[in-house]
Amino acid sequence: MSNIQEQINILVEVQGVEVEILQAGRLIIAMSDEAVALEQEVAEREALVTAERETLDDLKKSYRELESESKINAEMIVKSNEKLRNVKTNKEYQSILKEIEDIRKKNSGIEDRMLDQLENIESSERTVKEKEAQLGGFFQSCREKKEMLAAKEQRERQAVDTLNEKKVQISAKADPTTITILDDVKKKVRGLAVVPVQQAICMGCHMNIPAQLFNELQRFDELRFCPHCHRIIYWKENDSE
């Protein structure tokens, strides 16, 4: 095997490890994004429960205000009844009676509203309890998922460390100039920097290369590049051409 062929094999091996590192990195990012999404969903559900609690608090506050108003009206009725015992004219008597009747009607409306409010409070309390129970279950589910994601992410990070060590070991076998060339090509192209040529077609850009270049590839006397995509190209011995 020629030295150039050996160098290409090393570059292909380095590239293969880099692809594994890239895939692991993407998986780590995906798991991190999933964990963040879980946290966001927890926050959203917490906000919904908080909103339900605030609604319940508002209903209770409104009920207390109605209750206070009802008590004031009841006290006014008592005072008006006391005034009746001291009136001296029929006109004044009728006026106080009308005042008492108006207050009673007003209080009756308030009491009806209080009953409606009690129903709303009971309904809101049930909703809050249901939401809190659902949130508790969701918390537990998220905790388990996040623990699983954290464990998987840790394994992937360890795998990346191992792969990086492997890349260093493989790269050490290559001519430093060859590695420099590989790094330069990687900066210029998207995807793989070292690709085979099959049936005189570059597997990087899938375009035909000149016949002369295809013949030169088989000599393995120097690194050659695709004239179209500028990747490092090499010939496989099992090519039927």
**What is the pTM assigned to this prediction?**
0.72
* Average pLDDT of the chain, as a whole number: 93
| Same domain for 156 and 194 | no
Structure confidence by residue, pLDDT tens digits, 148-200: 999 999 999 999 999 999 999 999 999 999 999 999 999 999 899 999 999 99
Query: What is 197-225 written as a DSSP string?
Result: EETTEETTT--BPPHHHHHHHTT-SS-EE
2 confidence band (pLDDT: 50, 70, 90) = low
Closest to 55 measured CA to CA, from 109, 126, 112, 103: 126
**Residues in a beta bridge with 194:** 232
Tally of domains within the chain: 2
At 1 the pLDDT is 47
Sign of CA dihedral 196, 199, 200, 203: negative
| 20 within a domain of the structure (yes/no) | no
At 83 the pLDDT is 87
Decide: residue 178, CB within 10 A, 0-12 exposed, 13-18 middle, 19+ buried.
buried
Q: What is the mean pLDDT of residues 10-29?
A: 96
CA distances from 80 to 11, 97, 100, 102 (A): 102, 8, 7, 11
| Same domain for 184 and 85 | no
> Distance between CA 50 and CA 69 in Å, rounded?
29
Q: What is the mean pLDDT of residues 92-105?
A: 92
| 84 within a domain of the structure (yes/no) | yes
Residue ranges making up the domain that contains 40: 31-173
Give the domain-ending residue among 147, 173, 199: 173
| Same domain for 196 and 162 | no
| 58 within a domain of the structure (yes/no) | yes
| Same domain for 189 and 86 | no
| Same domain for 196 and 120 | no
Closest to 123 measured CA to CA, from 80, 27, 59: 59
| Same domain for 186 and 142 | no
Q: What is the mean pLDDT of residues 106-114?
A: 94
Flag whether pLDDT at 12 surpasses 70: yes
241 confidence band (pLDDT: 50, 70, 90) = very low
- Element of type H or E holding 156: helix 90-171
**Domain CATH code at residue 82:** 1.10.287
